Amino acid sequence: MGNITQEGLNKLKSQLHELKTKGRSEMAKQIAEARDKGDLSENAEYDAAKEAQGLMEMKIAKLENTIAQARVLDESQIDTTKVSIMTIIKIRNSKTKKEFTYTLVAEEEADLANGRLSVLSPIGKGLLGKSIGENADIQVPSGIVNFEVLDIKPSW
């Protein structure tokens, strides 16, 4: 997994707790209700509930593994003179002149609707290491876009 913010790690731990408590409890209830409906050999609801249980347990295992391997970022070690994880960047599309502000975060914390861009996304990767005033040509689905870095701030 790699680096993650303390906030991101807390969120993952919260999701894991929710799945292990409420999620497992709900799943057991669904399986019991399906089992009560009769012949298990022809009970599609029971099969679906058991499959959903298997998928949930896989998700729990994956979250546990991610949490075990996570390293919380030390904010004091982050260089804010260059685009890096945990920086808030303001960029401008050189062609359209539109400006965007994103916080660069670990893949697990990405949430584009809330301005949280993964460092592994094409734009995130293309901007890593750039300083204010530098430009980057980045391959996006619609073609190559040139972005200029306007500002870099710490996100904490």
Based on the domain organization, do 65 and 38 belong to the same domain? yes
Residues 6+ apart with CB under 8 A from 106: 1, 2, 3, 4, 5, 8, 85, 118, 119
Q: Which residue has the higher pLDDT, 45 or 91?
A: 91
Copy the structure tokens of residue 118: 């993964």
Boundary of a domain, candidates 55, 72, 89 = 72
Based on the domain organization, do 67 and 94 belong to the same domain? no
pLDDT band with cut points at 50, 70 and 90 for residue 96: very high
What is the C-alpha to C-alpha distance for residues 6 and 105, in angstroms, rounded to an integer?
11
**pLDDT for residue 152 is more than 90:** yes
Q: Give residue 55's domain range.
A: 2-72
pLDDT band with cut points at 50, 70 and 90 for residue 124: very high
What is the C-alpha to C-alpha distance for residues 119 and 108, in angstroms, rounded to an integer?
10
Residue 14: which H helix or E strand, with range?
Answer: helix 6-18
What is the C-alpha to C-alpha distance for residues 91 and 123, in angstroms, rounded to an integer?
10
Copy the structure tokens of residue 111: 């949430």
Q: Which residue has the higher pLDDT, 48 or 2?
A: 48
**pLDDT for residue 142 is more than 70:** yes
- Summary mean pLDDT of the chain: 87
**pTM, full prediction:** 0.57
What is the C-alpha to C-alpha distance for residues 72 and 91, in angstroms, rounded to an integer?
26
CATH code, domain with 23: 1.10.287.180
A 10 A CB-CB count for 99 gives: 13
